[in-house]
Structure 1
Amino acid sequence: MTTTPINEIKPYANEPFTDFGKPENVEAMKEAIAKVKSELGRNYPLKVGGQKIETEAKITSVNPGNVDEVIGFVSKADREVAERAMQAALATFETWKKVPARERAEYLFKAARLMRERKHEFSALMLLESGKNYVEADVDTAEAIDFMEFYAREMIRLSTIDETMPLAKIPGEDNRLTYIPLGVGVVIPPWNFPLAICVGMTTAAIVSGNTVLLKPASTTPVIAHKFVEMMEEVGLPAGVINYIPGSGAEVGDFLTTHPKTRFVSFTGSKEVGLRINKLAADTAPGQIWIKRVVAEMGGKDGIVVDETADLDAAAAAIAASAFGFQGQKCSAGSRAIIVESVYDEVAERVVKLTEQLQIGLPELNFASGPVIDNVSYARILDYIEIGKSEGTLLTGGAKAPGNGYYIQPTVFGDVSPKARIMQEEIFGPVLALAKAKDWREAIDMYNDTEFGLTGSYFSADEDRIAEALETVHCGNLYVNRKCTGALVGVHPFGGFNMSGTDSKAGGYDYLLLFTQAKLTSRKA
């Protein structure tokens, strides 16, 4: 395989976002949506080794913004297919692990270029399958490109670390440290970033020399299939990525407990993440290693505002963090804790901004779209009813019209820090506002959660900011900005406590999770 000369690899830079203020970009997205719509309702096979497998059982992917519209019918793996995929991945690993790191990285560079050329097409499919608007889908696709570009460079760096960061030398010995792949991994990405996180988790594993069994979320399997097709198009050897959507209880548990599984990379709910961690901890007969679990499990993120803050900026950040993609982000700011002297003013501004959000079809680029499926829809509406007994309903609080899973962006005020809507991850367009007597109590209230993923602190006082940087307990803390919107290479992403293993996706130590360090010492 021809690889780009090392001196021609450009320094990493984040993929620019599309400016939808320009009419030509809006028109390009509309054209991409029309193209994707002309291809709806297709059948999508499993991919195991070099084989396409059609199964009788299907996953029906539905547009959450228009439930009469079927995105596609995806073959559904069972345990038998999962075992075949495991054997294909094991066999491929024996050759893939020997492929030079530079060559593995080149597949990612090629895929990034191809995705960049088809950016709107990927975004349009994601928009229809997951309910994202133009901006949210565009950012997701840009992040997928970022992950491939960043991890390709990272693998090259790790493969040359003996030259760039040599070990200390002693007379009479030649010592080297290399990073070698683990083996076969199970990759279980979420539906809320169905392209970016799927691409990031998968490409991090394969560029490190591993082979993977990719089990995408059952609500967004078609966008994952499109990614796998693209990797085939750039020439990735068959069996490096095996595409096997299926039931978590059947396929997920089977592969997690499989003796040949070397690692599980998971992003999703706390409950599922803890189950995976527990299952992976047990040693299966024939297993000769401790399985590695890389888990990002969500959060109950919040924004703290003190009385010195820019209140307009704080209110805008609260609304954006709470309601971007309908609050369906693990980084979503579903809590705001405001010092009492400015509480009423901030709450009023947040409500006003929330009520400006228009609800409707993502393909028409409304600010607020549907939640992902009927299960989420029912759960979020249940939490809204709980919230009505735990705080004061300031706006929203009901279903929204439309042939999909639409819910009004909802704000509750005067919520106790111990209330369920302040403690439990809702994963929907529901925001709880709480009042604190001062900034230190506000930080204590922020920290009073089992999670620790993202947070924001708004203040103009440098001494308070310095203390907040030390005492606010989360993996990603932002000052005077929203708590969503981490950029690859800029904001390595991962959290504390029940938010997961703090794996720092998009960071300089992430690939170490998919490799093992081997020291070789040779007498000179």
Structure 2
Amino acid sequence: MTEYTVTPFQNEPFTDFSRPENKQAMEAALLKVKAELGRDYPLRIGSEKVMTEQKIVSVNPGNVDQVIGHVSKATQDLAENAMNAALNTFETWKKTTAVDRACYLFRAAKLMRERKHEFSALMVYEAGKNWAEADADTAEAIDFMEYYGREMIRLSETHTHRPLTKLPGEENRLTYIPLGVGIVIPPWNFPLAICVGITAAAVVSGNTVLLKPASVTPVIAHKFVELMEEVGLPDGVINFIPGSGAEVGDYLTSHPKTRFISFTGSKEIGLRINRLAAQTNEGQIWMKRVIAEMGGKDGIVVDETADLEEAAKAIVASAFGFQGQKCSAGSRVIAVASVYDRIVQLVKEHTEKLTVGLPELNYPLGPVSDQQAYDKILAYIEIGKTEGRLLVGGGKAQGNGYYIEPTVFTDVDGRARIMQEEIFGPVLAIAKAKDYKEAIALYNDTEFGLTGSYFSQDEARIAYALEEMHCGNMYVNRKCTGALVGVHPFGGFNMSGTDSKAGGHDYLLLYTQAKLTSRKL
């Protein structure tokens, strides 16, 4: 058993790129990563590295002539092989101590910290993130490994730190044991942080996994798998199987040996996974567990007592950070009538300061993810032109990639499509309310419930908002994006998912099952 002293968890600091030495280090990392683009990447099934003829071609969304890598594509037969490898490894991995499992994460976090800019640089190229967004993504990945390692150790010691009620003549103990083999399906928008987070949570809890990354960003996921191999994680704990959702994803979700599915992505795919997982197949002896974070239509409410300048800055940051491609993005604003015009003007001024360009050159806004997203967002902008008044943007931006202008619509009805449907792009809709209670009611009028912000200086109104705004992560006088591991456990209500609080004290319980043992003395 590994000797380890648990130190208090601390969030990984963000890099200040205004410092010349940090800027130079990032530029060096970009050059290093750029020289390695275009490689072929294998599947990882148990101890085998498998190259396939069919490949997923990862392309830089900010420069579509640049290929990031060719990633081998799994078939159902290869997925079955990966399932068998995971099942075999589970029999030994589940017996590994919590401390030993955690120490793999701690070692990986240390190496990722040392190579932080390289991981971030790869996301700049593959995901279209600017330097700060990529740096925050890498920092969050490090945080997840550090945090979940400590949490697993804490859970393994619960029987001593939080003992059960004593009963004379019996020895009773509650332990948390792993579930089995899980399917891990992370999104493309946080291609490192969420990929690392949901994978690390599963394996540190004693499970083995089949990791099926998003087809838009498979290379950064492979870089994480390589890192875990480097720190000595046993073969078969993480099996890397990129592939088609319809072919591989559905097959594994329906597989009788799958014990759980951890998914982050769209509402539509999340609901499909939930339906498939609910069906019992031949040979299946358990109900599958679904851990899903599915998206949002998040909003910011502003009343007449608010600091309007601060509110406007938060609105623009929430709406357009990473081109609005966050499930927490603030794509709606509801302002009370008396300050509506002023908020609109301030949002316009701040949005017009944003420039769009190549992430490698660290423009504030970069491209959206791919052609499908590009077409969808532009179609929503055309819908918006019929549902509100175009204030800023409204079309394509220049560049050899999927660039769209930051777009703002005002005077939008609460039931309009651009106020109700998740666009997942740089599009903001602003609506007017007669007072703060109507504004909060408009905020709640959506099928989602992930994040929300309320700007006010009135304590009674803030108390009302805290109770009445129905979302998993509720913020006051700050933006509705930027949840920190351990600080803001993250997950939402309604169609935003299962309210599984990533980065929170109860998250690992979703990857374990509680076993009570009772012995008569």
Tell me the TM-score range normalised by the shorter chain: over 0.9
Q: Please state whether the residue corresponding to 2:28 is helix, strand or coil.
A: helix
1:424 and 2:417 are equivalent in the alignment: no
Q: Please state whether the residue corresponding to 1:206 is helix, strand or coil.
A: helix
Q: Which amino acid aligns with 2:509?
A: L
Distance in structure 2 (CA, Å) of the matches to 1:164 and 1:357: 51
- Please list every run of at least 4 consecutive aligned residues from structure 1 whose deviation after the TM superposition is greater than 2 angstroms: 3-6
Distance in structure 1 (CA, Å) of the matches to 2:301 and 2:3: 47
Q: Which amino acid aligns with 1:349?
A: L
Q: Deviations over 1:344-365 (max 9, x none)?
A: 0011000111110011000000
Distance in structure 1 (CA, Å) of the matches to 2:377 and 2:48: 40
Distance in structure 1 (CA, Å) of the matches to 2:85 and 2:123: 29
- Kindly tell me: are residues 339 and 275 of structure 1, through their superposed partners in 2, closer, same or farther at Cα, counting changes over 3 Å? same
Counterparts of 1:256-295 in structure 2, within 5 Å, are 256-295=253-292
1:372 and 2:356 are equivalent in the alignment: no
> Is the 2:62–2:399 contact (alpha carbons within 8 Å) kept by the matching residues of 1?
yes
1:64 and 2:61 are equivalent in the alignment: yes
Distance in structure 2 (CA, Å) of the matches to 1:74 and 1:433: 41
Counterparts of 1:46-445 in structure 2, within 5 Å, are 46-445=43-442
Q: Which amino acid aligns with 1:226?
A: K
Q: Please state whether the residue corresponding to 2:40 is helix, strand or coil.
A: strand
Q: Please state whether the residue corresponding to 2:495 is helix, strand or coil.
A: helix
Q: Which amino acid aligns with 2:4?
A: P
> Is the 1:4–1:106 contact (alpha carbons within 8 Å) kept by the matching residues of 2?
no
Alignment RMSD? 0.5
> Is the 1:298–1:499 contact (alpha carbons within 8 Å) kept by the matching residues of 2?
yes
1:521 and 2:518 are equivalent in the alignment: yes
Q: Please state whether the residue corresponding to 2:18 is helix, strand or coil.
A: coil
Q: Please state whether the residue corresponding to 2:366 is helix, strand or coil.
A: coil
1:473 and 2:476 are equivalent in the alignment: no
Distance in structure 1 (CA, Å) of the matches to 2:138 and 2:257: 32
Distance in structure 1 (CA, Å) of the matches to 2:4 and 2:310: 46
> Is the 2:4–2:99 contact (alpha carbons within 8 Å) kept by the matching residues of 1?
no
Q: CA deviation at 1:4?
A: 4.1
Counterparts of 1:438-457 in structure 2, within 5 Å, are 438-457=435-454
Q: CA deviation at 1:5?
A: 2.7
Q: Which amino acid aligns with 2:27?
A: K
Which 5+ residue runs of structure 1 have no aligned equivalent? none
Distance in structure 1 (CA, Å) of the matches to 2:262 and 2:7: 29
Distance in structure 1 (CA, Å) of the matches to 2:34 and 2:464: 52
> Is the 2:182–2:258 contact (alpha carbons within 8 Å) kept by the matching residues of 1?
yes
Q: Please state whether the residue corresponding to 1:132 is helix, strand or coil.
A: coil
Taking structure 1 as the reference length, what is the TM-score of the superposition? Answer: 0.99
Q: CA deviation at 1:23?
A: 1.3
Q: Deviations over 1:432-452 (max 9, x none)?
A: 000000000000000000000
Q: What's the counterpart of residue 4 of structure 2? A: 5
Distance in structure 1 (CA, Å) of the matches to 2:123 and 2:204: 24
Q: Deviations over 1:25-51 (max 9, x none)?
A: 111101000000000100000000000
Distance in structure 1 (CA, Å) of the matches to 2:3 and 2:493: 38
Distance in structure 1 (CA, Å) of the matches to 2:53 and 2:348: 49
Distance in structure 1 (CA, Å) of the matches to 2:299 and 2:3: 44
Distance in structure 2 (CA, Å) of the matches to 1:485 and 1:340: 28
> Is the 2:451–2:492 contact (alpha carbons within 8 Å) kept by the matching residues of 1?
yes
Q: Which amino acid aligns with 2:24?
A: E
Taking structure 2 as the reference length, what is the TM-score of the superposition? Answer: 1.00
Q: Which amino acid aligns with 1:164?
A: H
Distance in structure 2 (CA, Å) of the matches to 1:386 and 1:217: 28
> Is the 1:360–1:368 contact (alpha carbons within 8 Å) kept by the matching residues of 2?
yes
Distance in structure 2 (CA, Å) of the matches to 1:338 and 1:16: 34
Q: Please state whether the residue corresponding to 1:485 is helix, strand or coil.
A: coil
Q: Please state whether the residue corresponding to 1:11 is helix, strand or coil.
A: coil
Which 5+ residue runs of structure 2 have no aligned equivalent? none
Distance in structure 1 (CA, Å) of the matches to 2:327 and 2:200: 21
> Is the 2:389–2:410 contact (alpha carbons within 8 Å) kept by the matching residues of 1?
yes
1:485 and 2:485 are equivalent in the alignment: no
1:19 and 2:7 are equivalent in the alignment: no
Q: CA deviation at 1:194?
A: 0.1
Q: Deviations over 1:57-91 (max 9, x none)?
A: 00000000000000000000010000000000000
Distance in structure 1 (CA, Å) of the matches to 2:392 and 2:158: 55
Distance in structure 2 (CA, Å) of the matches to 1:226 and 1:76: 16
- Percent identity (aligned): 75
